[in-house]
Amino acid sequence: MAQERAEEIKKYIELGWQVIDQTERRVIHGESVPASEKVVSIFEPHTDIVVKDRRETFYGHKICLTGGSSNLIVDCVIVDGNPADSTLTDQMIDRQNDIYGRYPLKVALDGGFASKENLESAKAKGVKDVCFAKKRGLEVEDMCRSEWVYKRLRRFRAGVESGISWLKRCFGLSKCIWKGLRSFKSYIWASIVSANLLTLARKEMA
């Protein structure tokens, strides 16, 4: 037991020196320290710095959720670091094929996922209609077969956003209270599975 405590203290000492080093580099030497080299939590060193569109800075891990017409969360990816959403589009669409054996005919994504390259890639996979919440220079006729389809997909995405809000409010998804990266991932999946089970129970009772 004493050896275990000594190893634990040694780990915290090393993290402490890393915090001192990054502080000296940033404050004294004016160096821009990459996020991958920063420690933002001594007790949860796996924590990433997540910045969304120059807004408030968050600490934790970026999560990509996929919702279906059933109102169930059908996929979740817990991302390492803070990559731009636009770099994750192919991965999220490809996962649908990996999991369910086919690509979806229609997809609705947040504006951060939008780019001409991502649109062309999705179309090449057989996705008929691709709706980005923000067009970012893209034309509706390039994304969807009609304005009507585009508007329906935008409303569908708004419904997914309300589902995410429900996960945060009712299932604690906005703040993990379990210690360690493995526990963090377990906490996220526990929230999603609980929400899905309640959704299924409601449909069964309807």
Residue 20 has pLDDT above 90, yes or no: no
Radius of gyration of the CA atoms of the chain, in A: 21
**What is the rounded average pLDDT for all residues in the chain?**
89
The pLDDT assigned to 157 comes to: 92
How distant is the alpha carbon of residue 27 from its chain centre?
31
The pLDDT assigned to 54 comes to: 67
Over residues 149-171, mean pLDDT: 93
What global pTM score does this model have? 0.78
The pLDDT assigned to 33 comes to: 77
What 3-state class would DSSP assign to 175?
coil
pLDDT tens digits, one per residue of 105-123: 999 999 899 999 999 999 9
Q: What's the CA gap between 171 and 192, in Å, rounded?
A: 8
- C-alpha closest to that of 131 among 121, 147, 159, 65: 147
Q: What's the CA gap between 130 and 153, in Å, rounded?
A: 8
Residue 148 has pLDDT above 80, yes or no: yes
The pLDDT assigned to 206 comes to: 63
Over residues 165-174, mean pLDDT: 92
What 3-state class would DSSP assign to 102?
coil
- C-alpha closest to that of 118 among 91, 96, 140, 100: 91
**Which DSSP category does 106 fall into?**
E
Over residues 22-43, mean pLDDT: 81
